[in-house]
Amino acid sequence: MRMWARRTGDRIFSRLLGLDRPIAGYTVHRRIRVPMRDGIDLLADHYAPTTAEPAGTLLVRGPYGRGFPFSTAFTRLYAARGYHVVLQSVRGTFGSGGVFEPMLNEPADGADTVVWLRKQPWFTGSFATIGLSYLGFTQWALLRDPPPELAAAIITVELHDFGASSWGTGSFALNDFLSWSDLVSRQEDRGILRALGRITGSRRRLARAANALPMGRAGRELLGTGAPWYESWLEHPDHDDPFWQPYRFTDCLDRAQVPVLLVGGWQDLFLEQTIEQYTHLRKQGTEVALTIGPWTHAQIVTKALSTLTRGSLDWLDTHLSGGTRAPRRSPVRVFLTGHGWVDLAHWPPPAVQRVLYLRPAGALADTPPPPTAPPSEFRYDPAHPTPTIGGRLLSAEGGYRDDARLGKRDDVLSFTGDPLTADLYVLGNPVVELTHRSDNPHVDLFVRISEIDARGRSRNVSDGFRRLPPQRGSGTVTVELDAIAHRFRAGSRIRLLVAGGSHPRFARNLGAGEPPVTAQRIVPATHTVHHGSGGTSRLVLPASSSPPSGDAAADPGGSLG
């Protein structure tokens, strides 16, 4: 009865995702002990297809348990198509021995798991890795010393350099890594789904911790006895500090020679590292493909799951099982927001610069302002920080949002262009060049591009943030914004926002230059953005008047293949 129910559920779920019909039944062997070199055991579940000719073996390693949604997204769908799948809980999670220390033990534990895998009588002789978020990080860790049996990897929305992700802008990614630490430290009390609900539903708790000072004590009050690593992350604000070296896995990119499929989201918190991974692998000659859709981090297992699974099965068919599916059509496939899926030879595609100048009274124009144009000013008060609205953060409130109220704040400068007379396609990283001055040497800059449609509704498109090095006087500040593939429709207007922060996505700059973990003193800052004799400020867009070469997909959902 249980087997019948499972097969029926798999068929229904496959149909909902637009997948081919399952071809195999499977049995599940739970809580298998996998020995590590230091004597502890990690627990794993083995999904064994009931077929005489298995398609291959998949290894999935992560800290979030072995139940739903990962048992569905990365085991059942593949076992029903002939793959042996091992889903393992990493050290210190869900019954696995040892203590969970984020990222530090994954290279050795992954290698020891492969040693065990080789000895299994059902092992097919080669395997691939698959998974998202931390399940993607464990794949990079395994590539530090790639086992010869590894045939392919499918790495989705994950970093390879934690120091750069947490402190790379100069400010701590407070929302993302405080909420993640809370999730991981409590998930086994209530299960992963309830733990996620705790973060997305109990926003007041996180907001209260994020807004309290000092940041270290406030975080500990939220975390209780969990996540003992949290303060150490706050105590090392320089991402080049040797402290972060054990969290840096760039060498794994250097050693990756197997075909790698990378999947990211335009609103995913790890977008910049996904693109960096693609660029690095492509430059060194590793076979790599990149797909980026209009998703946040959490939407990968909801809105993106059909696209992810179809593309993953195609990748495995080509590089592991030796099947007959058609190979991927292009190395890069991106969702051009406002248009649809497009196939590209590489990222970013060729483009020309479209320059828009910031002008007094909130204008954004093709021509520079006159030399006598007065500057614009705003005051940033850390006691009442400019809030985060949408964007690339680990929150139910992330992603594309109506951000009209952000542009109405007194601590935000808003520059808006005239209605576009034709469609404008922007693919790549916009850049903002500000001639800027502040009366406080300790300041941040947050910039955002939004699109205001013909009805006057504003929606975020791309963000950029920098904590400026302490200094006084005027100078040109260059801020690179998030990569985008976006069509600004004819009749819409481009808006550029300039602010002194975006809290709690980026921990606010208190303005006194004190250590972030203990800082409490608050010093406001007045920012000046020049338009005329003091210098000009401008927005540079990698733009074209037509979509990039390649076929646009007809369906809005698209696929990876």
**Per-residue model confidence as pLDDT tens for the chain (561 residues):** 456 556 666 777 677 777 888 888 999 999 999 999 999 999 999 999 999 999 999 999 999 999 988 888 899 999 999 999 999 999 999 999 999 999 999 999 999 999 999 999 999 999 999 999 999 999 999 999 999 999 999 999 999 999 999 999 999 999 999 999 999 999 998 655 555 555 454 678 899 999 999 999 999 999 999 999 999 999 999 999 999 999 999 999 999 999 999 999 999 999 999 999 999 999 999 999 999 999 999 999 999 999 999 999 999 999 999 877 777 889 999 999 999 999 999 999 999 999 999 999 999 999 999 999 999 999 999 999 999 999 999 999 999 999 999 999 999 999 999 999 999 999 999 999 999 999 999 999 999 999 999 999 999 999 999 999 997 667 899 999 999 999 999 999 999 999 999 999 999 999 999 999 999 999 999 999 999 888 999 999 999 999 997 544 433 443 333
Alpha carbon of 51 to those of 24, 30, 127, 357, 555: distances in Å? 6, 19, 17, 64, 34
Contact 159, 176 (CB under 8 A): no
Q: Which two tokens stand for residue 14?
A: 């496959």
Rounded CA gap, 222 and 205, in Å?
A: 7
> How confident is the model at residue 192, as a pLDDT?
54
Q: Is 405 helix (H, G, I), strand (E, B) or coil?
A: helix
Rounded CA gap, 542 and 349, in Å?
A: 9
Q: How many CB atoms lie within 10 A of CB 534?
A: 17
Angle at 334 between CA 331 and CA 335, to 5 degrees: 160
Q: What is the dihedral of CA 363, 368, 370, 372, to 10 degrees?
A: 70
> How confident is the model at residue 561, as a pLDDT?
33
Closest CA to 101 of 40, 30, 175, 145: 40
Q: In terms of pTM, does the model score above 0.85?
A: yes
Closest CA to 498 of 389, 376, 401, 414: 414
> How confident is the model at residue 544, as a pLDDT?
95
Q: What is the dihedral of CA 380, 386, 392, 396, to 10 degrees?
A: 160
Region of 510 (left: φ > 0; alpha: ψ -120 to 50; beta: rest) is alpha
> How confident is the model at residue 422, as a pLDDT?
97
Nearby residues of 141 by Cβ (< 8 Å), 6 or more positions away = 103, 106, 107, 110, 249, 252
Phi, psi of 550 (to 5 degrees): 120, 160
Contact 449, 356 (CB under 8 A): no
Closest CA to 159 of 252, 282, 59, 257: 252
* Domains, the chain, with CATH or none: 2-160+249-344 (3.40.50.1820), 168-236 (no CATH), 352-544 (2.60.120.260)
Compute the chain's Rg from CA coordinates. Answer: 24
Buried b (16+ CB within 10 A) or exposed e, 138-161: bbbbbbbebbebbbbbbbbbbbbb
Closest CA to 144 of 192, 106, 102: 106
